[in-house]
Structure 1
Amino acid sequence: MQVSLLQCQSGRDVEENLKFIREQLDLLESSERPHLVVLPECCLLFGGHERQQLAYAGNDADSELKQTLAALAKQYGIYLVAGTIPILADEGRVFSRSYLFDDNGETLGHYDKLHLFDVDVDDGTKSYRESDTFCPGEAISVIDTPFGKVGMAICYDIRFADLFRAMRLQGAEIIVLPAAFTRVTGRVHWLPLLQARAIETQCFVLAAAQWGEHNQGRRETWGHSCVISPWGEVQAIQPEGCGWLSAEIDLATLEGIRRNIPVVAHNRFEPPKLKR
């Protein structure tokens, strides 16, 4: 099946970001069905203070951003991992939520980012505190689709192997990762982490990333959107620039890899459990 990842340089103008995504979808060529498309984290709003997300947050049932992205999936006949958008939560905060829509624009499932990026980085932003704006999610998400089981994660989640093992134990075959990795951390950690998670889970990992300078250079992201095979090979990568990265993946290859190296059966540790 064909998978396509869009690398973006999103800014603070939602309409401009949406216009770019529409233009790119117009350019996307595929006669194959199903076609899985993955957008990066914060694809519609990025680069300013996180609190700006609150102005665009809606409920699951009436979010305009959700409805717009679902309409794109239907219009272009694609299965769409719709990056992340803000969805209202408690305490004046929002969830960073990723939806998976089918090619009719119907919601197959969603995932709320579990691990929030509260770290210090030696870049123009210096201090990141996502928990000031976002609530952590409360569930692992592995979604049934006609082409296989899709596990969902977002950006900073890649550092937490237990989440990925839990998704594998729930049947994941493809893991999608919308991301906006910083340039400083991405330069050293991005590819090793993606390859490790693919090898450990024996899944395809599809990581769609933000790239370049945002907000007049105060935010800089690493790019390097990539498709990683369950053997840990970099099947396709786009280091810089905006646009599409497309590849063909064959889920039939999972069977041989998992049979020859049966890590799930060999693992002597208890399955991970999500803390409440």
Structure 2
Amino acid sequence: MSRFVNVALGQLGPIQRTDSRQQVVSRLCALMREAHALGAHLIVFPELALTTFFPRWYIEDEEDINSFFEREMPSAATQPLFDLARELGMGFYLGYAELAQEQGKAVRYNTSIIVNRQGEIIGKYRKVHLPGHAEHEPWRRFQHLEKRYFTPGNHFGVTPAFGGIFGMAICNDRRWAETYRAMGLQGVEMVLIGYNTPVHNAPAPQHDDLSLFQNQLSMQAGAYQNGTWVVGVAKAGLEEGVDSIGGSCIVAPSGEVVARCITKGDEVAIARCDLDFCAIYKRTTFNFDLHRRPEAYGLLVERKGETLAADGTAVGVLNAP
């Protein structure tokens, strides 16, 4: 019997700096209600979905920086989203800036969570591939200071959810083959990805016209080469003077795009995804056990179901709730 999950793209238009958490959560709830009316079991929201994309500014005041971060999840401002998920019996993926306490020290992460149909957090991921730069670069029209404001995560895990094996990634992660392969080695059947991607690439403006093409290319390749569904969702449009791509889409294990958003605003699109369709690729063309030659690559070794970097750091481990 096939395992179907009705997945909705919960694309967001711009969020301005003056928009409150309550205003944004109200928009997220509206998208969730629309998706539910279309029969969705799960809605995927973008990276840093609760605020404007603040790494575009060089900020020195710690209190100002921390105002963009969540100290707990759910918080008072985001609780309505969890309550609505429970009421509708619908799950969601949400990206946000996390201010964590580790060994008595505050640590900032670019984080996403997956929430089940009972409104419970069942998985958390912290962005591994942080793009941009760490210091102020005045020559840029806008900054990209993720390396300044975030600590990188250290693994890609998978989570049993919605009758299958789910994984998470965030924005720049989608460009790296290792992202999908680390989860593919754990049997992932659907990868959820939120992103904020400006049209303009300051260090390489010749790439600007290729932004949408390369966004979709990376997700299609990751899906096909690992026999998994990939769901990519943007925060798009003109936000604080910076134009960001849209292109939210759902990619099948065949590499085919089966649903997409067509605007740069708040928009819902939906696809009925058969998780058993992954097996057609995992058992044939991309049967890792039968055809893959990790001993020839020199970069990764495998041990007891884990994928380890050459230095022994785990890059693929179970992401338990």
- Do they superpose with TM above 0.5? yes
Q: What corresponds to 2:16 in structure 1?
A: 11
Is the 1:74–1:104 Cα contact (8 Å) retained in structure 2? Answer: yes
Q: What corresponds to 2:51 in structure 1?
A: 45
Q: Deviations over 1:214-256 (max 9, x none)?
A: 01x1x22101100001010011111323210111111121122
1:143 aligns with 2:159: yes
Q: What corresponds to 2:69 in structure 1?
A: 57
Shift of residue 71, structure 1, vs aligned partner: 2.7
Q: Deviations over 1:46-85 (max 9, x none)?
A: 1443755511434446744564543332233211111334
Is the 1:63–1:87 Cα contact (8 Å) retained in structure 2? Answer: no
Distance 2:124 2:146 in 1: 19
Shift of residue 260, structure 1, vs aligned partner: 2.5
Q: What corresponds to 1:153 in structure 2?
A: 169
Distance 1:222 1:240 in 2: 10
Distance 1:50 1:189 in 2: 27
Distance 1:163 1:22 in 2: 30
Is the 2:116–2:162 Cα contact (8 Å) retained in structure 1? Answer: no
Distance 1:140 1:98 in 2: 12
Q: Deviations over 1:255-275 (max 9, x none)?
A: 222222134121212445356
**Gaps (5+ residues) in structure 1?**
none
Is the 2:158–2:165 Cα contact (8 Å) retained in structure 1? Answer: yes
Distance 1:74 1:227 in 2: 24
Shift of residue 109, structure 1, vs aligned partner: 1.0
Shift of residue 205, structure 1, vs aligned partner: 0.1
- Work out which of the two has the higher radius of gyration on C-alpha atoms and give 1 or 2: 2
Match among 218, 225, 240 for residue 248 of structure 2:
225
Cα 1:170–1:128 shift into 2, 3 Å: same
Q: What corresponds to 1:237 in structure 2?
A: 260
Q: CA RMSD in A?
A: 2.5
Cα 1:204–1:129 shift into 2, 3 Å: same
Distance 1:262 1:97 in 2: 30
1:261 aligns with 2:276: no
How many residues are treated as equivalent by the alignment? 271
Q: Specify the SS of the correspondent of 2:274.
A: coil
1:102 aligns with 2:116: yes
Q: What corresponds to 1:205 in structure 2?
A: 230
Mapping for residues 18-33 of structure 1, pairs under 5 Å: 18-30=25-37, 32=39
Is the 1:81–1:99 Cα contact (8 Å) retained in structure 2? Answer: yes
Q: Specify the SS of the correspondent of 1:182.
A: coil
Is the 1:54–1:86 Cα contact (8 Å) retained in structure 2? Answer: no
Query: Identity percentage over the alignment?
Result: 25
Output the TM-score relative to the length of structure 1: 0.87
Amino acid at match of 1:249: C
Shift of residue 142, structure 1, vs aligned partner: 0.6
Cα 1:68–1:202 shift into 2, 3 Å: same
**Gaps (5+ residues) in structure 2?**
201-207, 295-299, 302-306, 314-321
Q: Deviations over 1:2-25 (max 9, x none)?
A: 100111022321222222112222
Q: What corresponds to 1:87 in structure 2?
A: 99
Cα 1:72–1:137 shift into 2, 3 Å: farther
Distance 2:236 2:73 in 1: 31
